[in-house]
Chain A
Amino acid sequence: MKRRQGWLFFIIFLLTLSVYLLINYPLLLGLDLQGGSQLTLQIIKEEGKVTRDELEAVNSVIDKRVNNLGVSESNLQTLGGDQLILELPGEQNPLVASRVLGKTALLEFRTQKEGTSSDLKTLQLQRLIIKELIEQYSSAEKSQYDDNFLKVIQDDLKEIVQELNYSSTSNDLYGKLIEIKKYVDKEITNLFIKTDLSGKDLINAGRRQEQTNSNWEVLLTFSNSGGEKFAEITKSIAGTNQLLAIILDGESISEASVGNQFSNTGITGGSATISGNFTAENARELEVQLKGGSLPLPIEIVETNTIGALLGSKNIFKSLYAAISGLIFVGIFMIFNYRILGFVSVLSLVLYGFFNLALYSLIPVTLTLPGISGLILSIGMAVDANILIFERIREELYDGNTLTRSIDSGFQRANSSIVDGHITTLLSCFVLFLLGTNFVKGFAATLGIGVLISLFTSLNCSKTILRFFTTYQSLRQKNLYLPRNNFSN
């Protein structure tokens, strides 16, 4: 008896602890419950597996970029060795984030090959025309979109294609335009020679509005060695007609000449500006990318989920309704069929609920919709063990055994079936947790935790509560344990 009393105090202690935890450490809600965006980023590697170091490197660059974006909260985690999951709570439009994060942002400084001035001029002109065509095409309203309009663009495009001697593979007009622009960009880049100065030599990036017009420019600050390299490079081409190109992800974003006055020392001071018709937004995006450094491997955004805040709170209420109504109806069913035993199982179910939630805030487990469904489902499974035990107790009572004895052997004999049965569910949860996606993990975690806790509540808590009840003489009448009057004694 003493041991049981010890358990009773232990259970009360656990309950108090749970309530304390829940008050002080609120539950973490997933994006489907509070609204926000979730991006899945896939690291692209042509050959071989992404190594741990590479994953770490990508992770840290993305982390820096996210921080520089200035979002209030974010959560970045790796998934399955070559994916990253970024959560932006409250963000309803992940467009900017996706643009900033998705780019490799590999910054290069290149000097022009000698004797390519005229080639470059032609290509620059072609690039300008194509840019304009793309602009025209994408800004036109559907109504202006008649055959005549298309024909003008197509004719212009044809001319350039002939000049370039390049055949595109794309079928639709827009695809063609983009493809040819890429080709021209590549041709331009090919006219420049790589130097050993790159984005790695930056220590900072900034942006400001140009004084003469409303365009923006991006400021680069080099490290000491970077500044020296920059001076060296600019010195080598100062006063010649070779240009310095700043190339971002294979596309030249600025080509500039270096004046004769720098031919002695090069451009010193350790900084440079890129002024290539940036809008305020573009300049900020580039700034963030350069600050974070370039990605060691390219990434692709393979999944985007966006949930509105209103929908999130609706989801919370719906889940609450479902959980509470589930609990109530299970309770009614149990009390109707098992009387006092049913009441005991309801009490241990309530304990079960508290322990579960407390554990979520302790571990912590982020609650998502699948997670909640795992929790609700585990309510049913938690009662499962109780039913198994109660049926045994009933049988023992029918056989004419005393109440105490029936309770004891009921718990004892049901033990092995309960453990056996739960192990298979736990196995499934374990596999789901190891192999599943983020979404699925939530379900596996709550169901798994639920099954484990239910082993404790349905075996130990129920027994302790029941023992406590049976210390009262008035609660020891057998007919309180058996429904209807089919008990003959």
Chain B
Amino acid sequence: MKYNFELIKNKKKIIGFSTVLILLSILGILYSTFNTSYKKPINLGMDFVGGNELRIERVCESECSNLSPDSVLENLKEISKNKKVLNNLKLQFQNNNKLISIRTPYLSIEESNNLISYLDNIVGPLNYESKDSRLIGPKLGKRLLTNCITSLLVSLFAISLYITIRFDKKYALLALLALFHDLLIVFGIFSWLGIILSVEVNSLFAVSLLTIAGYSVNDTVVIFDRIRENLKFKKEGYNEIIQLSVNESFRRTTFTSITTLIPLLSIILFGSYSLFWFSLALSLGIIVGSYSSILLAPSLLLKD
């Protein structure tokens, strides 16, 4: 109606754009695998490698005194004997020095309690009511990783199966292509985030990939449905019908993406920090997913 996007004319641009995105993602994954300290396609977080993460707030009267992580570390070394902890300890202050966030290799509950009481000595008093502590054993980490990978594979397989049964071969193939395009790009973005900002992925990232998969296919299905319907009832040429269908679905696809992005954005802005990267991954997935459903997949349907 009001939208009149020249899909046919822009076919090359769209395919080119996607190719560039995919190449960049693959580059990130390769770089991450071979050129980083962790030597993995993506920076695996605590959920998958095990460790101890502690966040706790200080009790301050008005403003929290300025402290450098290095001096705190020096002090810790004075008191604590636990070399295992000290050698690999990452310490950060956030929220105007109020929040202390610490990462160490896996500790027992006792060792972790000791660490907290040392901290209390150095930067205390601490507000124990604000504690957020996670201890994950390396064994569990490995298990979680295999668990996540299996979930991803199984559900991708289930989705593929469903689409192949439900649609013609050509449509099914393209819907899957769009799906893998979306997942690869989101994965690639997080590879790059890991390289540049040392952002780590945890089990929620796998969840976001799965959700993106469901969502992306949903979007593509709607557009393909429209194309099928128009091919049945309208008399224009094949390519024109596809372009028409895309324009007819344009509002719907952008609108549903917007209504899904709005709640995600409110989680990013107002929600708990533990959901930040999760919501971001989902948002990225939805943006890429809408793009691939509305522009990439139909472009690939066009005949030369």
* Cα distance A32–B271 in the bound complex, in angstroms: 13
> Taking the complex as formed, is A310 at the interface, i.e. its CB lies under 8 A from any CB of chain B?
yes
> Taking the complex as formed, is B297 at the interface, i.e. its CB lies under 8 A from any CB of chain A?
no
Contacts of B265 in A (CB 8 A): 326
* Cα distance A486–B127 in the bound complex, in angstroms: 60
* Cα distance A134–B168 in the bound complex, in angstroms: 72
> Beta-carbon contacts of A426-470 to B below 8 Å, as 1s and 0s?
111111100111011001100100000000000000000000000
- Of residues 209 through 265 on chain B, the ones whose CB sits less than 8 Å from some CB of chain A are 210-211, 213-215, 217-219, 221-222, 225-226, 248, 251-252, 255-256, 258-265
Nearest CB to that of B135 among chain A residues?
A: A304
* Cα distance A309–B129 in the bound complex, in angstroms: 5
Q: From residue A488, how far is it (CB to closest CB) to chain B in Å?
A: 12
How many A residues are at the interface, by size bracket? 35 or more
Q: From residue A43, how far is it (CB to closest CB) to chain B in Å?
A: 12
* Cα distance A439–B204 in the bound complex, in angstroms: 9
Other-chain residue from A32, A325, A370, A421 in contact with B204 (beta carbon distance below 8 A): A370
Other-chain residue from B2, B162, B204 in contact with A424 (beta carbon distance below 8 A): B162
**B151, A435: Cβ atoms closer than 8 Å:** yes
- Of residues 171 through 230 on chain B, the ones whose CB sits less than 8 Å from some CB of chain A are 203-204, 206-207, 210-211, 213-215, 217-219, 221-222, 225-226
- Would A440 and B207 be within 8 Å (CB), given that A322-B263, A380-B259, A384-B259 are in contact? yes
Q: Which residue among A35, A377, A388 has the maximum number of chain B CB atoms within 10 Å of its CB?
A: A377
**A369, B162: Cβ atoms closer than 8 Å:** no
Contacts of A315 in B (CB 8 A): 272
* Cα distance A427–B215 in the bound complex, in angstroms: 11
Q: From residue B205, how far is it (CB to closest CB) to chain A in Å?
A: 11
**B222, A388: Cβ atoms closer than 8 Å:** yes
Q: Which residue among A333, A387, A427 has the maximum number of chain B CB atoms within 10 Å of its CB?
A: A427
Contacts of B80 in A (CB 8 A): 142
> Taking the complex as formed, is A279 at the interface, i.e. its CB lies under 8 A from any CB of chain B?
no
Q: From residue A455, how far is it (CB to closest CB) to chain B in Å?
A: 13
> Taking the complex as formed, is B95 at the interface, i.e. its CB lies under 8 A from any CB of chain A?
no
For chain B, what secondary structure do more than half of its interface residues adopt (helix, strand, loop), or is it mixed?
helix
**B131, A318: Cβ atoms closer than 8 Å:** no
For chain A, what secondary structure do more than half of its interface residues adopt (helix, strand, loop), or is it mixed?
helix
Other-chain residue from A143, A391, A439 in contact with B251 (beta carbon distance below 8 A): A391
**A370, B207: Cβ atoms closer than 8 Å:** yes
**A425, B203: Cβ atoms closer than 8 Å:** no
Q: From residue B94, how far is it (CB to closest CB) to chain A in Å?
A: 14
Instruction: List the one stretch of A61-69, A92-100, A213-221, A243-251 in contact with chain B.
Output: A92-100
**A308, B132: Cβ atoms closer than 8 Å:** yes
**A302, B136: Cβ atoms closer than 8 Å:** yes
Other-chain residue from B219, B259, B269, B270 in contact with A383 (beta carbon distance below 8 A): B259
**B272, A318: Cβ atoms closer than 8 Å:** yes
**A95, B113: Cβ atoms closer than 8 Å:** yes
**A300, B266: Cβ atoms closer than 8 Å:** no
> Taking the complex as formed, is B166 at the interface, i.e. its CB lies under 8 A from any CB of chain A?
yes
> Taking the complex as formed, is B20 at the interface, i.e. its CB lies under 8 A from any CB of chain A?
no
Other-chain residue from B131, B134, B221 in contact with A311 (beta carbon distance below 8 A): B131
**A425, B218: Cβ atoms closer than 8 Å:** yes
> Taking the complex as formed, is B291 at the interface, i.e. its CB lies under 8 A from any CB of chain A?
no
- Of residues 302 through 327 on chain A, the ones whose CB sits less than 8 Å from some CB of chain B are 302-311, 314-315, 318-319, 321-323, 325-327
> Taking the complex as formed, is A42 at the interface, i.e. its CB lies under 8 A from any CB of chain B?
yes
- Would A92 and B207 be within 8 Å (CB), given that A42-B140, A303-B137, A417-B225 are in contact? no
> Taking the complex as formed, is A17 at the interface, i.e. its CB lies under 8 A from any CB of chain B?
no
- Would A387 and B252 be within 8 Å (CB), given that A318-B271, A376-B267, A432-B210 are in contact? yes
Q: Which residue among B110, B144, B266 has the maximum number of chain A CB atoms within 10 Å of its CB?
A: B266
Contacts of B162 in A (CB 8 A): 423-424, 427
**B132, A420: Cβ atoms closer than 8 Å:** no
> Taking the complex as formed, is A330 at the interface, i.e. its CB lies under 8 A from any CB of chain B?
yes
> Beta-carbon contacts of A131-165 to B below 8 Å, as 1s and 0s?
00000000001110100000000000000000000
Could you tell me how many residues of chain B have their Cβ less than 8 Å away from some Cβ of chain A?
Answer: 76
Q: From residue A61, how far is it (CB to closest CB) to chain B in Å?
A: 20
> Taking the complex as formed, is A485 at the interface, i.e. its CB lies under 8 A from any CB of chain B?
no
Contacts of B133 in A (CB 8 A): 304-307
* Cα distance A425–B137 in the bound complex, in angstroms: 32
Other-chain residue from B1, B140, B221 in contact with A421 (beta carbon distance below 8 A): B221
- Would A440 and B159 be within 8 Å (CB), given that A304-B135, A380-B259, A424-B217 are in contact? no
Q: From residue A339, how far is it (CB to closest CB) to chain B in Å?
A: 14
Nearest CB to that of B146 among chain A residues?
A: A435
Instruction: List the one stretch of B8-16, B31-39, B274-282 in contact with chain A.
Output: B274-282
> Taking the complex as formed, is A381 at the interface, i.e. its CB lies under 8 A from any CB of chain B?
yes
**A384, B135: Cβ atoms closer than 8 Å:** no
**B262, A380: Cβ atoms closer than 8 Å:** yes
> Taking the complex as formed, is A60 at the interface, i.e. its CB lies under 8 A from any CB of chain B?
no
**A425, B266: Cβ atoms closer than 8 Å:** no
**A42, B139: Cβ atoms closer than 8 Å:** yes
> Taking the complex as formed, is A398 at the interface, i.e. its CB lies under 8 A from any CB of chain B?
yes
Contacts of B263 in A (CB 8 A): 322-323, 326-327, 330, 376-377, 379-380
* Cα distance A395–B210 in the bound complex, in angstroms: 33
Contacts of A74 in B (CB 8 A): none
Nearest CB to that of A392 among chain B residues?
A: B252
Contacts of A333 in B (CB 8 A): 255, 258-259, 262
Other-chain residue from B204, B211, B248, B279 in contact with A428 (beta carbon distance below 8 A): B211
> Taking the complex as formed, is A202 at the interface, i.e. its CB lies under 8 A from any CB of chain B?
no
> Beta-carbon contacts of B67-90 to A below 8 Å, as 1s and 0s?
000000000001111010000000
**A377, B282: Cβ atoms closer than 8 Å:** yes
> Taking the complex as formed, is B154 at the interface, i.e. its CB lies under 8 A from any CB of chain A?
yes
Contacts of B127 in A (CB 8 A): 308, 310
> Taking the complex as formed, is A223 at the interface, i.e. its CB lies under 8 A from any CB of chain B?
no
Nearest CB to that of B279 among chain A residues?
A: A373
> Taking the complex as formed, is A13 at the interface, i.e. its CB lies under 8 A from any CB of chain B?
no
Q: From residue A443, how far is it (CB to closest CB) to chain B in Å?
A: 6
* Cα distance A323–B272 in the bound complex, in angstroms: 12
Q: From residue B219, how far is it (CB to closest CB) to chain A in Å?
A: 8
* Shortest 9 CB-CB contacts between residues of A and residues of B: A380-B260, A326-B263, A421-B218, A310-B129, A425-B214, A431-B155, A302-B137, A302-B140, A428-B214
Additional A-B contact list (12), CB under 8 Å, known A421-B218, A435-B147: A32-B272, A304-B112, A308-B130, A310-B130, A318-B270, A373-B267, A373-B279, A379-B263, A388-B222, A388-B252, A425-B215, A486-B2
Measured CB to CB, the residues of A under 8 A from B are: 32, 35, 40, 42, 92-95, 98, 141-143, 145, 172, 174, 300-311, 314-315, 318-319, 321-323, 325-327, 329-330, 333-334, 337, 369-370, 373, 376-377, 379-381, 383-384, 387-388, 391, 395, 398, 416-417, 420-432, 435-437, 439-440, 443-444, 447, 486
10 A-B pairs whose Cβ atoms sit less than 8 Å apart in the complex: A98-B109, A319-B272, A326-B265, A326-B267, A370-B204, A420-B222, A421-B222, A427-B162, A431-B151, A437-B144
